Protein backbone atom coordinates (compact mmCIF):
# COMPACT_ATOMS: atom_id res chain seq x y z
CA UNK A 1 0.00 0.00 0.00
CA UNK A 2 2.55 2.58 1.03
CA UNK A 3 4.97 1.91 -1.80
CA UNK A 4 2.76 1.57 -4.84
CA UNK A 5 2.19 4.75 -6.81
CA UNK A 6 -1.27 6.18 -6.06
CA UNK A 7 -1.75 6.75 -9.80
CA UNK A 8 -1.56 2.97 -10.29
CA UNK A 9 -4.40 2.54 -7.80
CA UNK A 10 -6.69 5.07 -9.40
CA UNK A 11 -6.00 3.67 -12.89
CA UNK A 12 -7.49 0.28 -11.96
CA UNK A 13 -11.25 -0.26 -12.05
CA UNK A 14 -11.33 -2.49 -8.98
CA UNK A 15 -8.78 -3.15 -6.27
CA UNK A 16 -8.67 -5.57 -3.36
CA UNK A 17 -6.28 -5.16 -0.42
CA UNK A 18 -5.66 -8.21 1.80
CA UNK A 19 -3.62 -8.73 4.97
CA UNK A 20 -4.17 -11.24 7.80
CA UNK A 21 -3.64 -8.53 10.42
CA UNK A 22 -6.83 -6.72 11.47
CA UNK A 23 -4.69 -3.85 12.73
CA UNK A 24 -2.96 -3.42 9.36
CA UNK A 25 -6.29 -3.48 7.51
CA UNK A 26 -7.79 -0.94 9.94
CA UNK A 27 -4.75 1.29 9.50
CA UNK A 28 -4.97 1.06 5.70
CA UNK A 29 -8.73 1.70 5.75
CA UNK A 30 -8.16 4.75 7.92
CA UNK A 31 -5.68 6.19 5.43
CA UNK A 32 -7.15 5.05 2.11
CA UNK A 33 -10.92 5.02 2.72
CA UNK A 34 -13.63 5.48 0.09
CA UNK A 35 -13.03 9.24 -0.08
CA UNK A 36 -9.45 8.63 -1.27
CA UNK A 37 -9.80 5.46 -3.35
CA UNK A 38 -13.46 4.49 -3.94
CA UNK A 39 -12.40 1.50 -6.09
CA UNK A 40 -10.44 -0.14 -3.22
CA UNK A 41 -11.90 -2.86 -0.97
CA UNK A 42 -10.25 -4.37 2.11
CA UNK A 43 -10.19 -7.90 3.43
CA UNK A 44 -8.57 -9.70 6.35
CA UNK A 45 -7.05 -12.72 4.59
CA UNK A 46 -3.94 -14.88 4.49
CA UNK A 47 -1.88 -15.08 1.28
CA UNK A 48 -1.87 -18.88 1.66
CA UNK A 49 -5.66 -19.10 1.28
CA UNK A 50 -6.97 -16.14 -0.70
CA UNK A 51 -10.72 -16.46 -1.36
CA UNK A 52 -10.62 -15.51 -5.07
CA UNK A 53 -10.51 -17.50 -8.31
CA UNK A 54 -9.47 -16.15 -11.74
CA UNK A 55 -10.40 -12.63 -10.71
CA UNK A 56 -7.42 -10.28 -11.02
CA UNK A 57 -5.08 -9.22 -13.81
CA UNK A 58 -2.38 -8.10 -11.36
CA UNK A 59 -1.31 -9.01 -7.83
CA UNK A 60 1.22 -6.84 -5.98
CA UNK A 61 2.86 -7.57 -2.66
CA UNK A 62 5.39 -5.48 -0.77
CA UNK A 63 7.61 -7.04 1.88
CA UNK A 64 5.04 -9.49 3.22
CA UNK A 65 5.79 -12.84 1.54
CA UNK A 66 9.11 -13.42 3.32
CA UNK A 67 7.00 -14.03 6.47
CA UNK A 68 5.50 -17.17 4.95
CA UNK A 69 7.66 -20.32 5.14
CA UNK A 70 5.01 -22.17 3.09
CA UNK A 71 5.89 -20.09 0.03
CA UNK A 72 4.63 -22.51 -2.59
CA UNK A 73 1.22 -22.56 -0.89
CA UNK A 74 1.16 -18.74 -0.96
CA UNK A 75 2.29 -18.51 -4.60
CA UNK A 76 -0.21 -21.17 -5.69
CA UNK A 77 -2.96 -19.25 -3.89
CA UNK A 78 -1.87 -16.01 -5.60
CA UNK A 79 -1.79 -17.86 -8.93
CA UNK A 80 -5.41 -19.03 -8.39
CA UNK A 81 -6.60 -15.45 -7.96
CA UNK A 82 -5.18 -14.42 -11.36
CA UNK A 83 -6.78 -14.66 -14.78
CA UNK A 84 -4.78 -16.51 -17.42
CA UNK A 85 -1.69 -14.43 -18.31
CA UNK A 86 -2.22 -12.29 -15.22
CA UNK A 87 0.90 -10.96 -13.51
CA UNK A 88 2.29 -10.85 -9.98
CA UNK A 89 4.71 -8.11 -9.01
CA UNK A 90 6.34 -9.14 -5.75
CA UNK A 91 8.88 -7.37 -3.55
CA UNK A 92 10.39 -9.27 -0.66
CA UNK A 93 13.63 -9.85 1.18
CA UNK A 94 15.81 -12.58 -0.27
CA UNK A 95 18.77 -14.57 0.97
CA UNK A 96 22.29 -13.43 0.13
CA UNK A 97 25.88 -13.84 1.28
CA UNK A 98 25.45 -11.85 4.51
CA UNK A 99 23.38 -13.21 7.40
CA UNK A 100 20.07 -11.45 7.89
CA UNK A 101 18.75 -9.87 11.08
CA UNK A 102 16.28 -12.77 11.26
CA UNK A 103 19.15 -15.30 10.95
CA UNK A 104 20.72 -13.57 13.95
CA UNK A 105 17.43 -13.64 15.89
CA UNK A 106 17.30 -17.38 15.23
CA UNK A 107 20.89 -17.85 16.44
CA UNK A 108 20.20 -15.72 19.51
CA UNK A 109 17.10 -17.66 20.57
CA UNK A 110 19.10 -20.91 20.43
CA UNK A 111 21.68 -19.66 22.96
CA UNK A 112 21.54 -20.95 26.54
CA UNK A 113 20.11 -17.69 27.84
CA UNK A 114 16.96 -17.92 25.66
CA UNK A 115 16.50 -21.50 24.43
CA UNK A 116 14.10 -22.53 27.23
CA UNK A 117 11.50 -20.10 25.88
CA UNK A 118 11.67 -21.54 22.38
CA UNK A 119 10.66 -25.19 22.72
CA UNK A 120 8.91 -26.26 19.48
CA UNK A 121 9.57 -22.87 17.92
CA UNK A 122 9.88 -22.81 14.13
CA UNK A 123 11.70 -20.15 12.17
CA UNK A 124 8.87 -17.83 11.03
CA UNK A 125 10.97 -16.35 8.26
CA UNK A 126 11.60 -17.50 4.69
CA UNK A 127 15.24 -17.62 3.53
CA UNK A 128 15.50 -18.13 -0.24
CA UNK A 129 17.97 -16.93 -2.86
CA UNK A 130 16.53 -15.42 -6.09
CA UNK A 131 17.34 -18.72 -7.83
CA UNK A 132 15.50 -20.74 -5.17
CA UNK A 133 12.55 -18.35 -5.31
CA UNK A 134 12.42 -18.66 -9.10
CA UNK A 135 12.21 -22.44 -8.76
CA UNK A 136 9.31 -22.18 -6.24
CA UNK A 137 7.50 -19.70 -8.52
CA UNK A 138 7.85 -22.07 -11.48
CA UNK A 139 6.52 -24.97 -9.40
CA UNK A 140 3.53 -22.76 -8.51
CA UNK A 141 2.50 -22.22 -12.15
CA UNK A 142 4.38 -19.02 -13.01
CA UNK A 143 6.95 -18.00 -15.60
CA UNK A 144 9.51 -15.55 -14.25
CA UNK A 145 9.60 -12.39 -16.38
CA UNK A 146 12.19 -10.40 -14.41
CA UNK A 147 14.07 -10.70 -11.17
CA UNK A 148 16.51 -8.24 -9.60
CA UNK A 149 18.04 -7.77 -6.17
CA UNK A 150 19.53 -4.71 -4.50
CA UNK A 151 21.72 -4.71 -1.41
CA UNK A 152 20.03 -2.10 0.79
CA UNK A 153 21.22 -0.35 3.96
CA UNK A 154 19.09 1.73 6.32
CA UNK A 155 20.88 3.78 8.93
CA UNK A 156 18.62 4.20 11.97
CA UNK A 157 21.04 6.68 13.51
CA UNK A 158 20.59 5.48 17.10
CA UNK A 159 20.27 2.22 19.02
CA UNK A 160 16.87 3.36 20.29
CA UNK A 161 15.49 3.80 16.76
CA UNK A 162 17.05 0.55 15.51
CA UNK A 163 15.74 -1.36 18.47
CA UNK A 164 12.23 0.07 17.95
CA UNK A 165 12.31 -1.25 14.37
CA UNK A 166 13.74 -4.59 15.48
CA UNK A 167 11.10 -4.95 18.22
CA UNK A 168 8.35 -4.79 15.56
CA UNK A 169 10.13 -7.17 13.15
CA UNK A 170 10.97 -9.66 15.90
CA UNK A 171 7.50 -10.02 17.44
CA UNK A 172 7.38 -13.69 16.38
CA UNK A 173 10.35 -14.25 18.71
CA UNK A 174 9.63 -11.77 21.51
CA UNK A 175 6.02 -12.94 21.90
CA UNK A 176 7.53 -16.09 23.45
CA UNK A 177 9.25 -14.04 26.17
CA UNK A 178 8.04 -12.43 29.39
CA UNK A 179 7.51 -8.71 28.74
CA UNK A 180 10.37 -7.79 31.10
CA UNK A 181 12.86 -9.82 29.02
CA UNK A 182 11.99 -8.53 25.55
CA UNK A 183 14.26 -5.49 25.51
CA UNK A 184 17.21 -7.65 26.61
CA UNK A 185 16.50 -10.10 23.78
CA UNK A 186 16.36 -7.29 21.20
CA UNK A 187 19.62 -5.83 22.52
CA UNK A 188 21.26 -9.27 22.42
CA UNK A 189 20.14 -9.68 18.77
CA UNK A 190 21.41 -6.21 17.82
CA UNK A 191 24.76 -6.68 19.57
CA UNK A 192 25.31 -9.92 17.63
CA UNK A 193 23.97 -8.38 14.39
CA UNK A 194 26.46 -5.53 14.56
CA UNK A 195 29.33 -7.97 14.15
CA UNK A 196 27.60 -9.48 11.09
CA UNK A 197 26.37 -6.42 9.22
CA UNK A 198 28.34 -3.40 10.38
CA UNK A 199 31.63 -4.27 12.04
CA UNK A 200 33.08 -0.82 11.27
CA UNK A 201 32.85 1.97 13.78
CA UNK A 202 30.11 4.46 12.90
CA UNK A 203 27.89 1.76 11.33
CA UNK A 204 26.41 0.46 14.58
CA UNK A 205 22.81 1.20 13.70
CA UNK A 206 22.73 0.14 10.07
CA UNK A 207 20.25 -2.49 8.96
CA UNK A 208 21.26 -4.28 5.75
CA UNK A 209 19.08 -6.48 3.61
CA UNK A 210 18.72 -7.88 0.11
CA UNK A 211 15.61 -6.46 -1.57
CA UNK A 212 14.31 -8.66 -4.37
CA UNK A 213 11.77 -7.62 -7.01
CA UNK A 214 10.29 -10.40 -9.08
CA UNK A 215 7.71 -10.22 -11.87
CA UNK A 216 5.71 -13.36 -12.60
CA UNK A 217 3.38 -14.39 -15.39
CA UNK A 218 0.59 -16.88 -14.64
CA UNK A 219 0.71 -19.69 -17.23
C1 LIG B 1 6.48 -5.19 6.61
S2 LIG B 1 4.73 -5.33 6.56
C3 LIG B 1 4.42 -4.71 4.93
C4 LIG B 1 3.05 -4.12 4.84
C5 LIG B 1 2.66 -3.45 3.50
N6 LIG B 1 2.69 -4.40 2.40
C7 LIG B 1 3.56 -2.27 3.18
O8 LIG B 1 4.26 -2.27 2.18
O9 LIG B 1 3.55 -1.31 3.97
C10 LIG B 1 4.52 -7.09 6.40
C11 LIG B 1 3.06 -7.51 6.28
O12 LIG B 1 3.01 -8.90 5.97
C13 LIG B 1 1.80 -9.37 6.49
N14 LIG B 1 1.78 -10.85 6.52
C15 LIG B 1 2.36 -11.67 7.42
N16 LIG B 1 2.01 -12.95 7.17
C17 LIG B 1 1.21 -12.92 6.08
C18 LIG B 1 0.48 -13.93 5.36
N19 LIG B 1 0.54 -15.23 5.72
N20 LIG B 1 -0.29 -13.54 4.32
C21 LIG B 1 -0.34 -12.23 3.95
N22 LIG B 1 0.32 -11.24 4.59
C23 LIG B 1 1.06 -11.58 5.65
C24 LIG B 1 1.78 -8.73 7.88
O25 LIG B 1 0.50 -8.77 8.48
C26 LIG B 1 2.25 -7.32 7.56
O27 LIG B 1 1.17 -6.47 7.33
Residue 4: the pLDDT is 59
Which ligand 1 atom is nearest residue 169's CA? 1
CA atoms of 30 and 24, how far apart (whole Å): 10
Residue 2: the pLDDT is 45
Q: Is the CB–ligand 1 distance for residue 52 below 6 Å?
A: no
Residue 1: the pLDDT is 42
* Range 46-218 classified under CATH 3.40.50.150: yes
What are the beta bridge partners of residue 118? none
Q: What is the pLDDT along the chain (219 residues), one digit of tens a residue?
A: 445 566 676 677 789 999 999 999 999 999 988 888 888 999 999 999 999 999 999 999 999 999 999 999 999 999 999 999 999 999 999 999 999 999 999 999 999 999 999 999 999 999 999 999 999 999 999 999 999 999 999 999 999 999 999 999 999 999 999 999 999 999 999 999 999 888 777 889 999 999 999 999 999
Residue 87 makes CB contacts below 8 A (sequence gap 6+) with 57, 58, 59, 145, 215, 216, 217, 218
Residue 214: the pLDDT is 98
Q: Is the CB–ligand 1 distance for residue 48 below 6 Å?
A: yes
Residue 9: the pLDDT is 67
Q: How far is the CA of 124 from the centre of ligand 1 (A)?
A: 13
Q: Is the CB–ligand 1 distance for residue 212 below 6 Å?
A: no
DSSP states along the chain: --SS-HHHHHHSS-EEEEES-HHHHHHHHHHS-TTT-TTEEEEE--GGG-S-SS-EEEEEEES-GGG-S-HHHHHHHHHHHEEEEEEEEEEEEE--SSPPHHHHHHHHHTSTTTGGGGTT----S----HHHHHHHHHHTTEEEEEEEEEEEEEE-SSHHHHHHHHHHHTHHHHTTS-HHHHHHHHHHHHHHHHHHH--STT-TTEEEEEEEEEEEEE-
Amino acid sequence: MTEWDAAEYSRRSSLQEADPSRDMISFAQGHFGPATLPNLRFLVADARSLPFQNEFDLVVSFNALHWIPEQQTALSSIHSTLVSSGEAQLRLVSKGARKSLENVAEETRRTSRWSAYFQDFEDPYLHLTPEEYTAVAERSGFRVLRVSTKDQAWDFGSRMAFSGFCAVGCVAWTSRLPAAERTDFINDVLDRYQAVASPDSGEENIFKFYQMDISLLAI
